[in-house]
Amino acid sequence: MHCGFPEIRKQEYLLVLYSFINSSNNLIKGMILLQANNNYREVLSKEGVKSTKHRNAVLEILESADIPLTAEDVFLKLKEKNVSIWLSTVYRTLETLTSKGLIIKSSILDDGRARYELNHNEHKHHVVCICCHKMISIDECPFGEYEKVLQKELDFDVTGHRFEIYGYCRDCKLTNRISL
């Protein structure tokens, strides 16, 4: 046993960390250890959202994704799994899950399309290929010390930030899709 949890395989359980600001402007944080077959019922219930097959399916798609996905990407992956759903339902579902803090919406490319990923409450950034739009997560953050400086010098409490680096990925450079 580790930390009070039984030894488990990744496929059997899902650890969900969450945070939100309640109506009294208090930051609430917590975590839930779910059995995978719970289909996110506890997480959705805790946020006051009904557990539906479409919401569960969208969460499963985002959980299995290595990179943030557009609504269209989510829709196509759902169709590949033979889920009967309209694109407008995917958009509404993504907005609902975003408003509850279960997923993160970002618009880090200049193509005007939002991308979504599960909110693991992890601090990460991305490098983005401006040719093929590939996004690669990076774990290092250059702003940790700078946030302390801002707090000290400006009495400014940083609650978060986003950081993206744009350039060309290895594949695009190798296939000569770009000319520098």
Reported as a pLDDT band with limits 50, 70 and 90, residue 179 is low
**Most confidently predicted of 4-13, 109-118, 119-128:** 109-118
Whether residue 108 is found in the same domain as residue 56: yes
Whether residue 90 is found in the same domain as residue 165: no
The rounded mean pLDDT for the chain is 77
Whether residue 104 is found in the same domain as residue 48: yes
Angle between helices 87-99 and 71-80 (to 10 degrees): 120
Tell me the average pLDDT across 11-27.
50
Residue that finishes a domain, picked among 79, 104, 122: 122
**Residue 103 parent element (H or E):** strand 103-106
Q: What domain range is 127 assigned to?
A: 123-180
pLDDT value at 137 more than 90: no
Read off the pLDDT of residues 49-88 as tens digits, 9 standing for 90 and up.
898 999 999 999 998 888 889 999 999 999 999 999 999 9
pLDDT value at 125 more than 60: yes
Phi-psi region of 125 (alpha: psi -120 to 50; beta: other; left: phi over 0): beta
Q: What are phi and psi of 103, to 5 degrees?
A: -130, 160
Distance CA 38, CA 40 (A): 6
> Is 118 within 8 Å of 98 (Cβ atoms)?
no
